[in-house]
Amino acid sequence: MIIRLIERTAVLLVSLVVSSVLVFAFMAVLPGDPARVALGVNASDEAVAELRRQFGLGRPLPTQYFDWLGGLLRGDFGTSYVSKAEIGPQVFDRFQVTLWLVLAGMVIALVVAAPAGTVMAARHRKVSGLALSAISQLGVAVPAFLAGILLIMLFAVKLGWLPANGWTPPAQDPGMFVRQLILPALSLGLVQGAVLTRYVRSAVLDVLREDYLRTARAKGLRPFPALWRHGIRNAAVPVVTVLGLQLATLLIGAVVVERVFVIPGLGSLLLDGVSNRDLLLVQDVVMVLVVAVLVVNFLVDLLYVALDPRLRVGSR
């Protein structure tokens, strides 16, 4: 167990270093001069040269990389090329917004997928199971942004039950915060819940076909109690692996959903940085998203070990 933890931690650290190099290299090879973009096309060459000196853009790329990486490790994300504002506070504030959205979407996905997938597996030869399977297939085909637009048309425009956009911090007005979170969280969670339902169905079906579950049934246990007592933990092992990918997908999906619902999250900040060619801002936001995905995968690995006792035997 300890050796496996050390191995996974080493993989995480190496992945973070490699990712930082790739993100920096990708931004470095993009065409265009950030100083020229920040000052405008009519700026003099002297002004552009002075701004490049202030931002350190004329230094060797390895020096720029290590300065940027060292700043990230100290919590210093640098200064925006365009707005001249500190990037760190912006990223921190926006990340909290995105985190609320992603966590709410994942809760909705789990609430939908766990019971629906289990019922689909237990009743896979019956009409109810087939109907749920067809609905989940339809949900998989719908992108999150389209689901968001449809939810706005129904619940905000037609029924007027919920606001169509905007964001209120939970400390400022908890009621409005919840009302504004419902539709974007549903647009993310329902789509990902449909995808996760398929994996839950497959995992539960595999468990239902195991000999130990047939033995439990032969002893008199009904299907669902037998599955709950003897099979649900085994069924959870492959599903947990998928959850890491789902969280990464939710982070990426939040970029578009935040635009649809006018939410000031990390995705909106990233798109604003791209449109303004604020390369350092884009570089920082992309790195934060990469770190979040890698850390989630690391935690999923640990949870996988906790669920499967076989992985805790010896060094594995």
Q: Which band of pLDDT confidence, cut at 50, 70 and 90, is reported for residue 37? A: low
Task: Kindly tell me the sign of the dihedral angle through the C-alpha atoms of 153, 155, 159, 160.
Answer: negative
Task: Kindly tell me the sign of the dihedral angle through the C-alpha atoms of 56, 61, 66, 69.
Answer: positive
DSSP state of 312: G
Residue found by looking up tokens 């850390």 in the block: 295
Task: Tell me the per-residue pLDDT of 206-256, one tens digit each, with 9 for 90 and over.
Answer: 776 666 666 666 666 666 666 666 566 666 666 777 777 777 778 878 888
pTM of the complete model = 0.78
Q: What share of the chain is helix, strand, coil (3-state, %, to 5)?
A: 80, 0, 20
Q: Which band of pLDDT confidence, cut at 50, 70 and 90, is reported for residue 21? A: very high
What is the per-residue pLDDT for 316? 42
- State the number of CA atoms in the 13 A half-sphere of 134 facing the CB: 6
More confident call, 182 vs 142 = 182
Residue found by looking up tokens 């935690």 in the block: 299
Q: Which band of pLDDT confidence, cut at 50, 70 and 90, is reported for residue 39? A: low
What distance in Å separates the CA atoms of residue 236 and residue 203, rounded to the nearest whole number? 7
Count of helix runs (H) and strand runs (E) in the chain: 13, 0
Q: Which band of pLDDT confidence, cut at 50, 70 and 90, is reported for residue 145? A: confident
Q: Spell out the domains of the chain, with CATH numbers in brackets.
A: 9-74 (no CATH), 87-312 (1.10.3720.10)
Helix residue spans in 123-231 (DSSP H): 127-141, 144-151, 174-208, 211-218, 223-230
Q: Looking at the predicted structure, is the pLDDT value of residue 76 above 80?
A: yes
- Per cent of the chain over pLDDT 70 is 81
The DSSP bridge partners found for residue 86 are 79
Q: Which band of pLDDT confidence, cut at 50, 70 and 90, is reported for residue 309? A: low
What is the per-residue pLDDT for 112? 87
Cα 197 off chain centre by: 18
What is the per-residue pLDDT for 315? 45
Cβ atoms of 113 and 103 within 8 Å: the answer is no
Crossing angle (nearest 10°) for helices 223-230 and 174-208: 100
Instruction: Record the tokens describing residue 291, joined without a space.
Output: 């770190």
